[in-house]
Amino acid sequence: MVQVGRFKIVSVVNGTFRLDGGAMFGVVPKALWAKQAEPDEENRIPLAMRTLIAVDETSDRVVLVDTGAGHKWSEQEGERFALQPRRQAIAQGLSRFGLSEASVTDVVVTHLHFDHNGGLTEWVDEPGAATRLRFPQARHWLHRRQWEHAQAPTIRDQASYLERDLQSLKAEGVLTLVEGDDPPPPWEGMRWMLSHGHTPGQLLPLFDGGSGEPSLLFAGDAIPTSGHLKIAWAMAFDLYPRVMLDEKKRILELCREHGTWLAFPHDPEIGGVVLDLSAGRPIIAHELDL
């Protein structure tokens, strides 16, 4: 657990899965990326699905950032991604604060790819039928550009959006759609950073440490793991690679100028890091106790 301004923050692994290593590292040769993440016989590398839990005890605000792939998966679908969900991980993380899932006030939906936010909903009864919200009392934050893109994705990324994950969000009207490229802070102690290179309107929360104190950025799929800290080490999944590279430069500059910490969504071992950029490249100074 770390303290960042008003918030106490932990990172919980709510499941693991595997994706093709070449797709995860794009143009980087396997001889290099395999030193960071050992592939299996199908060339897939191990990844985590992390939820950031942030609690402001002074305002009783309980924030989740991303919810993983969820549990609406058949055995065959799960085998394709070596998917291993951990149904109780979020509840167990909340219990560290003496809280339950009913305590969640806000859910930040960075984007609607299944591995980040399939966990927003669950089956009501039998698989394949109706879904319901997992956090029905919470306010769900999503950028409008991502919501609109999810309704009509490109042929490149349409497989990342599952209709079963969107049904209840459409029906229940729980989304607060964030607008523009410089949206105002949603509440005290947190503000938004926008990223459009991986997918339009990826909403990255920046927890503000206050004057002279480090802040914490949930890097989303801009920097999915510690193995993606080098600017050129980017995913083939990114829709706009050049934009993504420029955004990574901006994130790393934020770390250099302001000492901002990073939290990862997919690193199987490391929840977050403090970087040293004094040598002109990102070096992990130490890991955060997330």
Amino acid 127: pLDDT? 79
Amino acid 130: pLDDT? 85
End-to-end CA distance of the chain: 5
- State residue 275 phi and psi, 5-degree precision: -100, 150
Per the CB < 8 A criterion, the answer to whether 80 and 94 are in contact is no
How far is residue 12's CA from residue 86's CA, in Å, rounded to a whole number?
10
Q: Where are the domains of the chain?
A: 2-287
Per the CB < 8 A criterion, the answer to whether 81 and 46 are in contact is no
Q: Which tokens hold the place of 78? A: 């799960």
How far is residue 104's CA from residue 90's CA, in Å, rounded to a whole number?
10
Amino acid 174: pLDDT? 86
Contacts 24+ apart (CB under 8 A), 206-209: 206/260, 207/4, 207/5, 207/7, 207/9, 207/54, 208/4, 208/5, 209/4, 209/5
Q: What are the b/e assignments for 68-99, b being 16+ CB within 10 Å?
A: bbbbbbeeeeeeebebebbeebbeebbeeeeb
What's the whole-model pTM score? 0.94
Amino acid 66: pLDDT? 98
* Per-residue pLDDT in tens (0 to 9) along the chain, 290 residues: 999 999 999 999 999 999 999 999 999 999 999 999 999 999 999 999 999 999 999 999 999 999 999 999 988 889 999 999 998 999 999 999 999 999 999 999 999 999 999 999 999 887 777 889 999 999 999 999 999 999 999 999 999 999 999 888 887 778 999 999 999 999 999 999 999 999 999 999 999 998 888 999 999 999 999 999 999 999 999 999 999 999 999 999 999 999 999 999 999 999 999 999 988 889 999 999 99
Handedness of CA 223, 281, 277, 47 (dihedral sign): positive
**Domain 2-287 belongs to what topology?**
Metallo-beta-lactamase; Chain A (3.60.15)
Amino acid 126: pLDDT? 75
Amino acid 81: pLDDT? 95
Amino acid 65: pLDDT? 98
